[in-house]
Structure 1
């Protein structure tokens, strides 16, 4: 047994089975009994303890103490290969944080696909006050006695996607817990297991290669929490983001583009102009051809916006799909001109001008990841190429066959296309660059524009920053940690159950983990549908201090949370509901969400508190809410 201690923290490794434990005070965390450190490789599963040479040493330096282990040489099908790596687990003396580092030394002889290290921690008792926090979309808390099995996690739990808005997870034994932050999240993710009715939840991290190699050090930082809860975990992460220089509030963004303030308090409208589903698309319906294509003139949308104001809808933001000649999700990135059948540039300008005259905001849907074969400028040489030389393709969306545009090219196309909009006097308040903050980053092994996943996120951020430089507020599909510095608003940042069929069992208790970190940084529109007498999404909009969707007409049926079974109010009632949410949003949009709680321990009664003292309490059982404001 190897052991180091610093102040109140102890860290141990059993050199017989390579398992770690660590703790503070009376609370100790141990790797699970079933866990065995391993790498999944092209050649098969390789366990750390199968290394032909293993060496451990205690390390002490100017910043802390730790345990370094070296693993070298593996036997694969009777042949020795020189693959080697190190692990280093250490305690930082000044912070008492514990770091686990996996470090590649020699990558010859094995093609690593996944590294499962550090291990999952024991959380084995069937207790509701023992729980796990996952950043699965807005956030979920899974008590150890939760009745529903955790099934598929979006994007397989890949960090920086809808499956992991932020690259951390956390677990608590009553009031003592930890937060595990992956400080190198670009090629990493988590996997979690919670069986029906518990009695345990396990969650662990995995590391994957970049352009076929592990290449760089991978790190997870554990911070131990005494006498705290999930609020403390979120605030620890908020402080971490500030330390990294990636924290940027709406106030800071408004100092760059004043119209950020105009967006606050809007009711959001999602409408389209042209839909054209290619026969080869997975969404094409050969049995009902009339459903594949539709067209609404710009003039109709202009009339609708005027009518909404006559009904007293207040300030609006219109997100317009399918505004260009090819139709929604077609021929990107070659998307201009404005749809001629719908009235062309002239009618689109009239819509834009009308929005401004009414004091509203106007924005468009756009796309710089999906790279359609039908695009005039399509060139396979600029599509993302894998390390084996292949180019991924599919035909899921309306535009049919596509690959993925290498993000090194995206900023150039954004500049080209938005200059064309400017030439035609289309004054935009916002622009939605689809999927950038929902899907994982891409990699490209074309030597002419080789790109890592980390670099991909940087190129996506450049697209957002270009829009901001032109006074256009950037948006994307969901939210993601890497984009918080640049993004002003999003399509939504929902709880995961909202994107499943209504009535589906929840994977845990919905908790606003993302908003406890980033509420004052990004504007989030929220679904407002009333599903039935026991589920009204308006309550979640209020609890999160978000903006309301007045109308949300998705481009694809029964997709992205737009289900046929969702109950819709009459427009006048919808407007009144949105006014309540919009008024709260005006008050708290720029406020930190300082606290969230289950009132008297009841998950059916939740309360959020904002930095200005505003408290929102919702009772999901009674379907009621109260808003307390400080005078």
Structure 2
């Protein structure tokens, strides 16, 4: 339930209001506020105080001091709400000084005519610790909002001094609207018709072939001042509700396809994400399909699915910048052409889930024009959408196939179809020999080893690799406190080389255990500096150890970052380019097979394998990245339902990039991590045409040997057989999704049965429970 913070200035008796919210007096801390303010509130009782402080003044006037000792949220509201109407321009500001680790926001509680809260922090602007500065916000009142309550909110422990609060209306945009503008404007070509609602800024798309219509759900994020149509283009002037910024919108029909290309431009600050365009409405029976790792398909009307808030600038968000909604045959594809500062949220809006596209600022500014497109498909569902995106990726130069990479780095052929093996402890060469004697004909040995080990494993015909990382930068003065010191930290660049946030604080990275049981965070190395560090390090390693591959941790998993250091300032676009330069070094300068974590399309031209693409990030076992060697059984519900459950998984990544890169499980979520669902992992590998991953300690090999070899014999021949091929189709053959089928460009057809009953494909073609069937056309391409 939302907190009742915004009630501070309403004439509602507090005890009855709290009861209405389902909360007791012990759950919320209310106190009287200083004169000129309404009630002060904290989620933690007795964690907050507010009083006039005459000893700390601003411009000769005393301040109000707020002291908050809790870890959760608090608020200090104005005593009265401001009655507003659609289009009102409202500004608020306050002078602020702050100490502590928390943060403070100035914004409004917006309410509808019936008093229902529309937004708890409408137009919020954030400040952190620092001396006196003016914090200001400016909003346009959207349709459906009748009142605004200005307030200061915060979270975490802090001391805040406030002075000189102001709030006023400065005009009304509705009164500036073009009176001759029609309610709706439209464009059309041979495939589709586009309509634009000049009141809400919402679009409607209709297929001229199937008559299928798709409509957006207006959310009040913009107001339209002017709009017109000229030829195949629509242009409009919009105003953002959350920051009162003027925006320019263009929408243009593609002359060759059933697509619309859109551009949004602005020239002001963008402190909070801009939620425009509006989301497309969904209805029962539809699915939202989006590339979170390999890909998921969420039934929009299924209650209780975990909402996803994902960035588009890193592997732990969307690994490709698109999503679609489908009712089975028909689909609507949204492609983000400028994803470096974009977000996607898959959230419930009423009884169904919708997909929202949002834009973040580039270092706090709107920056460059934001571009996206919509494409309609009458047939083919999410497969047609993925195949259209493959064409777009090819146009961007991302579609570099494994065959192409093999020409540049011949050792790529040792990778394709090979299981990824991590073994801890023991002698590397001896362990590799035991695997070979057991029946391993192919293997990516990821666990490194001595120079002699690497040479010996190379002679066995295996691909040898080693772990590396260029993100973590630990303060050397902390070394004596730590349980362990990582040999590949870039601590020689502390502190000048680390990422600085906008407020001057340093970006926290991986946390390391101390000898006393606490945790100390590494800094994050600025991506601009990583290539030069890597060039020196890798050259030195290869002088001694002739590896054929190298795994660079975090580079494609962690987000592109902004850096505010004056020595190496960086936008997210700069960060992406620097990360790709780091990965380019491996094949181009060192002749190595490149691997990285989780995965993102930006790295496809350079990287040949991703560890973690097969593993859905939000649905791994807890602390998977720290406790890699620990097996888990019985399988947690999140593993059974989402990670290896066939209902919610779709191979979007493989439909776009299967012939370009080898996707593996995560090293904390591998084949034998949860033994009771091992078979299902094997089946996903077989269905997707990808190689397995095994991780264990050397002394445990006798315990795992039989089961690993069974898995190897089932999965590896398929992974090798289709490893260089495009995945051309994916089908779900049963209503419960337990029987699925993939097709590949060389004619291989793979059918997998995740269920508990046999499935009859045709005469003499039965797929047994937890079984699979591989069929090959007679004219398959070699």
Question: Highest CA radius of gyration, 1 or 2?
Answer: 2
Structure 2 residue 256 is matched with structure 1 residue 94: yes
Quote the residue 1:598 is aligned against. 732
Q: 1:483 to 1:171 in 2, by over 3 A?
A: same
| 1:4 positional shift | 1.9
Structure 2 residue 503 is matched with structure 1 residue 388: yes
Quote the residue 2:642 is aligned against. 506
Asked whether the equivalents of residues 541 and 581 of structure 1 are also in contact (C-alpha less than 8 Å), the reply is: yes
Asked whether the equivalents of residues 120 and 204 of structure 1 are also in contact (C-alpha less than 8 Å), the reply is: yes
1:364 to 459, 466, 484: 466
Question: What TM-score, normalized by structure 1, do the two folds share?
Answer: 0.80
Quote the residue 1:207 is aligned against. 359
Matches within 5 A, 1:440-479: 440-469=559-588, 470-479=590-599
Q: Which has the higher contact order (CA 8 A, sep 6+)?
A: 1
The separation in 1 between residues aligned to 2:412 and 2:592, in whole angstroms, is: 9
1:421 to 519, 534, 541: 541
| 1:308 positional shift | 1.9
Asked whether the equivalents of residues 619 and 642 of structure 2 are also in contact (C-alpha less than 8 Å), the reply is: no
Asked whether the equivalents of residues 311 and 572 of structure 1 are also in contact (C-alpha less than 8 Å), the reply is: no
Q: 1:208 to 1:73 in 2, by over 3 A?
A: closer
Asked whether the equivalents of residues 474 and 494 of structure 2 are also in contact (C-alpha less than 8 Å), the reply is: no
Q: 1:122 to 1:624 in 2, by over 3 A?
A: same
The separation in 2 between residues aligned to 1:589 and 1:17, in whole angstroms, is: 49
Deviations 1:213-272 (A, max 9, x none): 121111111011112211101100000111122210000000101110111232221134
| 1:602 positional shift | 4.3
Structure 2 residue 345 is matched with structure 1 residue 191: yes
1:614 to 748, 758, 761: 748
Asked whether the equivalents of residues 671 and 678 of structure 2 are also in contact (C-alpha less than 8 Å), the reply is: no
Quote the residue 2:452 is aligned against. 350
| 1:472 positional shift | 0.9
The separation in 2 between residues aligned to 1:318 and 1:589, in whole angstroms, is: 18
The separation in 1 between residues aligned to 2:566 and 2:733, in whole angstroms, is: 57
1:11 to 179, 185, 194: 194
SS in 2 for 1:537: helix
The separation in 1 between residues aligned to 2:345 and 2:600, in whole angstroms, is: 18
The separation in 2 between residues aligned to 1:22 and 1:552, in whole angstroms, is: 53
Structure 2 residue 433 is matched with structure 1 residue 306: yes
Quote the residue 2:97 is aligned against. none
Q: 1:397 to 1:612 in 2, by over 3 A?
A: farther
Structure 2 residue 770 is matched with structure 1 residue 623: yes
Q: 1:112 to 1:625 in 2, by over 3 A?
A: same
Quote the residue 1:316 is aligned against. 443
Q: 1:112 to 1:59 in 2, by over 3 A?
A: farther
Structure 2 residue 701 is matched with structure 1 residue 516: no
Structure 2 residue 690 is matched with structure 1 residue 546: yes
Quote the residue 2:306 is aligned against. 150
| 1:73 positional shift | 9.6
Quote the residue 1:336 is aligned against. none
1:225 to 371, 377, 384: 377
Deviations 1:109-153 (A, max 9, x none): x543211111111112x22xx211011111011123435422345
Deviations 1:270-303 (A, max 9, x none): 134xxxxxxxxxxxxxxxxxxxxxxx4xx62332
Deviations 1:22-68 (A, max 9, x none): 221211111125x222xxxxxxxxxx22x8xx2222233xxxx2321
Asked whether the equivalents of residues 534 and 620 of structure 1 are also in contact (C-alpha less than 8 Å), the reply is: no
- Report the count of equivalent residues: 534
Quote the residue 2:321 is aligned against. 167
Asked whether the equivalents of residues 159 and 166 of structure 1 are also in contact (C-alpha less than 8 Å), the reply is: no
Quote the residue 2:207 is aligned against. 24
The separation in 1 between residues aligned to 2:752 and 2:771, in whole angstroms, is: 6
Question: What TM-score, normalized by structure 2, do the two folds share?
Answer: 0.65
Q: 1:603 to 1:300 in 2, by over 3 A?
A: same
Asked whether the equivalents of residues 3 and 10 of structure 1 are also in contact (C-alpha less than 8 Å), the reply is: yes
| 1:406 positional shift | 1.0
The separation in 2 between residues aligned to 1:587 and 1:606, in whole angstroms, is: 19
SS in 2 for 1:617: strand
Say what the alpha-carbon RMSD is for the aligned residues: 2.5
Quote the residue 2:713 is aligned against. 579
Structure 2 residue 593 is matched with structure 1 residue 488: no
Quote the residue 1:43 is aligned against. none
The separation in 2 between residues aligned to 1:189 and 1:17, in whole angstroms, is: 22
Name stretches of at least 5 consecutive residues in structure 1 with no aligned partner: 38-47, 273-295, 324-346, 555-567
| 1:466 positional shift | 1.1
Asked whether the equivalents of residues 531 and 537 of structure 1 are also in contact (C-alpha less than 8 Å), the reply is: no
Deviations 1:75-102 (A, max 9, x none): 98xxxx8x42212222122323112221
Asked whether the equivalents of residues 606 and 619 of structure 1 are also in contact (C-alpha less than 8 Å), the reply is: yes
| 1:8 positional shift | 3.1
The separation in 2 between residues aligned to 1:14 and 1:553, in whole angstroms, is: 62
| 1:163 positional shift | 2.4
